[in-house]
Amino acid sequence: MDIKVSVREAPGDCYVVDLSGEIDVYTSPKVKDAIGGLIDRGVYHLVINLEKVRYIDSTGLGVLIGGLKRVREHGGSVNLVCTNPQIRKIFDITGLVKIFGIFDSEDAAMKALV
């Protein structure tokens, strides 16, 4: 079990964080470090691509919420790309669909960044 994290710059002063694997209490610190590192560098507009994430738990959600909270302090935003119905279900039942912008494609998530 592992999580792969990669970061790439995108047009419009924005970065995309690609995640692949499982996000749980063991792997979420790696995700937190990647997102936190970008914010520390002054990147406040993020798209986090969860298309290749097979599993996420509350610690993973916590990392995403923490990242969103930090960028919002700087007028930024975090949009998610999520096509896995099981992952989407977790956002639905926790009500996080009302907090995050969740999109079916990276292109749509990028266009919707504030």
Partner 1 sequence: MNQAIENAAPELVELRIPARAEWVALARLAAATVANRLRFSIEEIEDVKLAVAEACTAVIQHEGHGEFIQLHCEATRDSLRVRVHDSGRHDIVSDSARMNFDEARIAGLGIFLIRTLMDEVSYDVHPQHGTDLLMVKRLVGAPA
Q: List contacts with partner 1 (CB under 8 A).
A: 1, 22, 24-26, 55, 57-59, 61-62, 65-66, 69, 85-86, 89-90, 93-94
**How far apart are CB 29 and partner 1 at their closest, in Å?**
9
Nearer to partner 1, 6 or 58 (CB): 58
Cβ–Cβ < 8 Å for 84, 108: no
**How far apart are CB 14 and partner 1 at their closest, in Å?**
25
CA 77 – CA 87 distance, rounded (Å): 20
15, containing H or E segment = strand 14-23
Nearer to partner 1, 97 or 113 (CB): 97
| Helix %, strand %, coil % of the chain (to 5) | 40, 35, 25
**How far apart are CB 62 and partner 1 at their closest, in Å?**
4
